[in-house]
Amino acid sequence: MTNVFDNILGLIGNTPMVKLNEVTKDIPAKVYAKIESFNPGHSTKDRIALHIIEAAERKGLLTPGATIVETTSGNTGFSIAMVSIIKGYKCILSVSDKTKPEKIAYLKALGATVYVCPASVPADDPRSYYEVAKKIAAETPNSIYINQYFNELNIDAHYSSTGPEIWEQTEGKITHLFACTGTGGTLSGSAKFLKEKNPDIKIIGVDADGSILKTYHETGEIDPSEIHSYQIEGLGKNLIPSALLFDRIDHFVRVNDEMSAYCTREIALKEAIMGGYTTGAVLQALRQYANANPFSENDLVVLIFPDHGSRYITKVYSDKWMEEQGFINNCVHNYEEVFKTEYIK
């Protein structure tokens, strides 16, 4: 039988790539999106969850009935919970209070125990979702802490899958790779593989306004004054993850909440791709980069679209939420006309 699997985990990886047409009209290069929402858990994090958990099994770190603990903004948690169900493990997750209720409901539906922690505290604060996960793992017998931010297997997962897939799908013609950086594993692993194939490929990381990663890449120093809250989940950091290989990244582009939100909805409207908030962030980064570094018709650009928009229906896809952020009034894309809703009385 073809295209038949023993369980849902067999669907992880080998995600498709789609040419972008309308949202990249002003860019002469060929631009493709790697649609990671085609993973069964609807995000690129499926790759690391399966890779890290199976590596732990091979090392004898996981035994029947074990508990897997992790810090997550949502997607990694979904993936770990999914893998845990199939493999028979318990799952405990800590999330920040930026995480929308529907994401928490999704995690609970997959059997995870969820701890909600304040996002506004420093990473080393005992209340942060990093420290809470560490404490739970330390106090829970027969448990492991995935620790995706400081786990080299995060990089390896993408070095062995995402990078080779991109190389094969573009027939080795890729010239630029854009991806959002949270833990850094997706971009770092892919970049590591692609740079080995062709060191001239440009690797561009996407950072958030309110994060420290771009400045750290440029100066080697952390600037605490740059840290402030922002809305994009899974993008940027207030600490330096070891899963982020700065030496494989050529350039960082910093994007803000507002323009990333418009781009997210523009992709849905013009390309029929319902991506998450970081989907818009990576498109906005491409546009900003192109303003200073014009592309040619010989360039082949790949954007990694990390997850599915269904997880952001009450956030970036909600008119009410957009209004609450003040985005509609500031919008330069004629928001009221494009996204209007007609009510019949």
The single residue of 30, 34, 45, 202 carrying the catalytic annotation is: 45
The answer to whether 38 touches 169, Cβ cutoff 8 Å, is no
Report the candidate in 149, 166, 180 with the shortest Cα–Cα distance to residue 253.
180
Q: What confidence score (pLDDT) does residue 100 get?
A: 79
Pairwise CA distance, residues 182 & 18, whole Å: 23
Select from 124, 152, 134, 156 the least CA-distant residue to 70.
134
One fold for 8-38+161-337 and 45-149:
yes
Give the pLDDT confidence of 12-24 residue by residue, as tens digits: 999 999 999 999 9
CATH of domain 8-38+161-337: 3.40.50.1100
Instruction: Tell me if residue 245 falls in helix, strand or coil.
Output: coil
Q: What is the pLDDT of residues 295-314, one digit of tens each?
A: 999 999 999 999 999 989 99
Query: Residue 345: pLDDT above 50?
Result: no
pLDDT for the residue numbered 335: 47
Active site residue 320: no
Closest by CA to 96, choosing from 121, 78, 113, 76, is 121
Average pLDDT over residues 259-267: 96
CATH of domain 45-149: 3.40.50.1100
Q: What is the pLDDT of residues 192-225, one digit of tens each?
A: 999 999 999 999 999 999 999 999 999 999 999 9
268 has a pLDDT exceeding 60: yes
Domain ranges of the chain: 8-38+161-337, 45-149
